[in-house]
Structure 1
Amino acid sequence: MIIRPQGSLQILSYQEASQLCDVSQSGLNELLRQCALAVLNTGSNEDNMLTLLNKYSDFDIKVSVKGRGVQLIIKNAPRHAFVDNELIIGLKEHLFAVIRDLLYARNDVLESGHFDITRSHGITNAIFHIARNAGLVKPNVLPNIVVCWGGHSISEDEYQYSKHLGYELGLRNIDICTGCGPGVMKAPMKGALLGHGKQRYQEGRYIGITEPGIIAAEAPNAFVTELCIMPDIEKRLEAFVRLGHGIVIFPGGAGTMEELLYLLSILLHPENRNIPLPVVLSGNEASRGYFDAIIDFISDTLGPEACELLEVIIDHPRDVATKMKTAMETVRQDRKASSDAYYFNWRLKLELDQQQPFIPTHESMHNLNLHKNQPIHHLASQLRKAFSGIVAGNVKADGIREIEKHGPFKIVGDPVIMKAMDRLLQKFVDQKRMKLDASDYNPCYTIEHPEDHL
């Protein structure tokens, strides 16, 4: 099947087309194939990248440049991506967003020599350019973006609650940014779309930010209208906090804890103490135990200073939306007073260790510094990496291969931290929050906490 452009990409050079068809290790074809298959598989209940690749092992995509522009030649794609043999328009837009971002990140950022990605500011600058190229950076717009984090494996009641909160945000003309996948990443967008419609708000934005390693587990949902694929999870996380003006965290699993710990590693940094970035944890009454477990874990590992940064609001979506609407004015005043941009939070201080890609291997997971003899924002960053490794072992192709080859990751550290982590992860397993098909979940990790050290 031949597909022509829809959305943000209209033309390519012959060199760019060659890169996308290059099947060598340095080429982009395999990365394009994985991301394109994930996009075309939107709506399925599969969150295992390796299983998806094996299921559609004969899927193929090539790019050609004709006189009139770009053509995609797709073979053996998932049938549910088509209606009457025509690719769904939203999926077509997402497909060309994948091509746009893969090429731009490779050619204009990572390998251009224009960005020093060995330094913190260089990485932030690269993220800004990728986001701007994707159309996410919009000048002359007041702070209005609420980032919604949460799991793709949630209950129906939690889904309905997050949709209701999205509706309340939409009624207040607030735009939504999520990880773009199913579950809590989809529900607030769906609710906001209804709220925006009732208010006749025509400028509603539904921003999805992802990265190649997670896109199969969290394929872009149908409500995403502005999709951006960052090169890795660290740049994805930084894009959230730079572009967003407030954050709502819903129930989730290991990935949501990774996001929360990443956020705490920033908010706990001494240089960020006076920068407003409102954070609310929220869910329905049935999720109260989940949030109690989260706060207990944060208290046991990072202490009361970290807990004070978090507000939990249970079963009151209107209150959360009102709080976020009020906070937008606080953020606006702060950005105006500091001459910082409304569309990108340049002032947040991130350390290089928070920005450089963490590759979960058995060695890197075992060597994490999970002890309390360090500043708490450093410990939060190390804990974030531990959960990042668990996410990789659950749903990312490379992580799954690593587990299949060498067995579970071994996580070691301070006994108090290890016991707290063990308790929290067991709750996630018991509540079936680790994967979509969690009926026979086999942990990709072991937690070591020698009792004789207590």
Structure 2
Amino acid sequence: MTQETINALVSPEGSLEILSSHEVNRLKDKSEGGLYRLFRQCALAVMNIGVDIDDCKDLMERHADFDIRLVPQPRGLKLELINAPIDAFVDGEMLRGIREHLFSVLRDIIYAHSVLGSYPGLSSDEPDTITNRVFHILRNARVMQAGRHPDIVVCWGGHSISREEYVYSKEVGHELGLRGLSICTGCGPGAMKGPMKGATIGHAKQRVKNGRYIGITEPGIIGAEPPNPIVNELVIMPDIEKRLEAFVRAGHGIIVFPGGVGTAEEILYLLGVLLHPENRDLPFPVVFTGRPENADYFEMIDRFIRNALGEEAAARYQIIIDDPVRVAQAMKHGMQEVQAFRRSTQDAYYFNWMLKIDPVFQAPFEPTHETMRELELHRNQPSHLIAANLRKAFSGIVAGNVKEQGVRQVQERGPFEISGDPELLEPLEELLTAFVQQNRMKLPGAAYKPSYRIVN
């Protein structure tokens, strides 16, 4: 398919105008250990604005002739873009928001893969070290603001949702904005864009001049869910596990809208973390919400959680149907509880240091046919570990659906196989079947061929 493209020379916007010769060489390096391919993929993704595509492999193939080069300048650097998507430009000039995103990609790739690697004590895979890496990346991106009261609401939900579901997410965002709350999402379209769009109107009505629309993503998913243009603080984490940890460390409460396997992965990660005994008394408001026709969807999610993780997990969230005002009020009240708790325990408002995250949620999971088949999906383990293994199963399906490497594996070797205890797998298969029937696996109009197979 022929794509309309443009060549351009782009100056920095927002961050990182100067690179060392070592950093430049790593970005140019096209070998296995170099950063060129990663930088090219993420840069192409942020310029893929307004294009209905959620397959990273397809995106890369459509723009096989795209190239990006670093051009040293006496006062810094510029990026030379060759055959770049023309939708990122207006009258030959790159949109300012896209330019900010492009240099955020450059900043975070350099920092996570070059600068942090030289920090003594930050190269190990110890739990505290991983948390500190998450902290350093967020701080370098200026996400954390000392002295600001808790106000970040993380919104999760599907990129493939109906128009009515999108409008509802926007209405919730509007109510959050009226109450001065900021929005953090996975930065993509659908339920990630709606709350941000609604909050901009709420902030405008209240004359909130420092409204925050934080997007947190990672290289594997950014091609399938390119940042929407409302995001004014974009962060690229190294992998999905650090992305999820960034959400719960930087956020102060979470709202979940209807979604597919990616949303289910996020829910299981969150509940698995909150189920750790050391987090029992830690306030963290969680609300599941949607339109009246989404009531059955959340009943299904609730039933799946109660079966897999028990009543204790279900006690960590509330379900609110068709009431954006009540959702926003619940979040506002939750923020006050979080603030009081953090103040009493001397924990930072900007980073949830006290939250205990089991190492099983931090170690990167690489979905392959072997690792997916070996997942421990049985009841003979603590509930938070059941959540961890179910999270990995959903993560693998996400990879097979939209991530370049996962899509390629499924094309070459067939669907990932998932096996385990029938008491866990039968409800899992029911949930996945419903996601397929409701078109929550791929964007509307795209034929879905399952990337998974449930086996005995």
- Tell me, yes or no, whether TM beats 0.5: yes
Q: Does 1:133 align with 2:140?
A: yes
Shift of 1:327: 1.0
Tell me if structure 1 keeps the 8 A contact 2:241–2:364: yes
Shift of 1:370: 0.4
Shift of 1:113: 4.0
- 1:44 corresponds to which of 32, 51, 54: 51
| Aligned-partner Cα distance in 2 for 1:43–1:205 | 22
Q: Does 1:398 align with 2:384?
A: no
Shift of 1:52: 0.5
| Aligned-partner Cα distance in 2 for 1:272–1:348 | 6
Tell me if structure 2 keeps the 8 A contact 1:151–1:183: yes
Correspondence for 1:281: 288
Q: Does 1:363 align with 2:370?
A: yes
Correspondence for 1:384: 391
Tell me if structure 1 keeps the 8 A contact 2:176–2:328: yes
Correspondence for 1:452: none
- 2:201 corresponds to which of 194, 205, 218: 194
Tell me if structure 2 keeps the 8 A contact 1:165–1:318: yes
Q: Does 1:204 align with 2:211?
A: yes
- Higher mean C-alpha deviation, range 370-379 or range 295-304: 295-304
| Aligned-partner Cα distance in 2 for 1:322–1:245 | 14
- Higher mean C-alpha deviation, range 221-230 or range 9-18: 9-18
| Aligned-partner Cα distance in 2 for 1:207–1:396 | 22
Percent identity of equivalent pairs: 54
Classify the secondary structure of the residue corresponding to 1:247.
strand
Correspondence for 2:60: 53
For 1:254-287, what per-residue CA distance to the aligned partner results, in whole angstroms no more than 9, with x for missing partners?
A: 0000000000110111111111011000011111
Note the 1:40-439 alignment, pairs <5 A: 40-110=47-117, 112-437=119-444, 439=446
Paired letter, 2:352: N
- Higher mean C-alpha deviation, range 61-70 or range 237-246: 61-70
For 1:96-129, what per-residue CA distance to the aligned partner results, in whole angstroms no more than 9, with x for missing partners?
A: 0000000000112245443143100000001000
Classify the secondary structure of the residue corresponding to 1:136.
coil
For 1:334-380, what per-residue CA distance to the aligned partner results, in whole angstroms no more than 9, with x for missing partners?
A: 00111100000001111211101000000000000000000000100
Tell me if structure 2 keeps the 8 A contact 1:13–1:65: no
Paired letter, 2:304: F
Tell me if structure 2 keeps the 8 A contact 1:180–1:186: yes
| Aligned-partner Cα distance in 1 for 2:334–2:449 | 42
Classify the secondary structure of the residue corresponding to 1:426.
helix
TM-score (norm 1): 0.98
After TM superposition, the runs of 4+ consecutive aligned structure 1 residues lying more than 6 A away are: none
Classify the secondary structure of the residue corresponding to 1:76.
strand
Paired letter, 2:403: K
Shift of 1:64: 2.3
Change (3 A) 1:371 1:438: farther
- Higher mean C-alpha deviation, range 360-369 or range 60-69: 60-69
Tell me if structure 1 keeps the 8 A contact 2:276–2:358: no
Classify the secondary structure of the residue corresponding to 2:222.
coil
| Aligned-partner Cα distance in 1 for 2:43–2:414 | 30
Tell me if structure 2 keeps the 8 A contact 1:17–1:65: no
| Aligned-partner Cα distance in 2 for 1:42–1:338 | 43
- Higher mean C-alpha deviation, range 274-283 or range 18-27: 18-27
Classify the secondary structure of the residue corresponding to 1:280.
strand
Shift of 1:409: 0.4
Paired letter, 2:205: K
| Aligned-partner Cα distance in 1 for 2:356–2:230 | 32
Tell me if structure 1 keeps the 8 A contact 2:155–2:191: yes
Paired letter, 1:291: F
User: Cα RMSD (Å) of the superposition?
Assistant: 1.0
Correspondence for 1:442: 449
| Aligned-partner Cα distance in 2 for 1:60–1:117 | 34
Structure 1: 5+ residue stretches without partners: 450-454
| Aligned-partner Cα distance in 1 for 2:428–2:35 | 38
| Aligned-partner Cα distance in 2 for 1:329–1:117 | 36
Paired letter, 2:264: M
Classify the secondary structure of the residue corresponding to 1:77.
strand
For 1:12-37, what per-residue CA distance to the aligned partner results, in whole angstroms no more than 9, with x for missing partners?
A: 22222221111111111100110001
TM-score (norm 2): 0.97
Q: Does 1:22 align with 2:26?
A: no
Shift of 1:437: 4.2
Shift of 1:439: 4.5
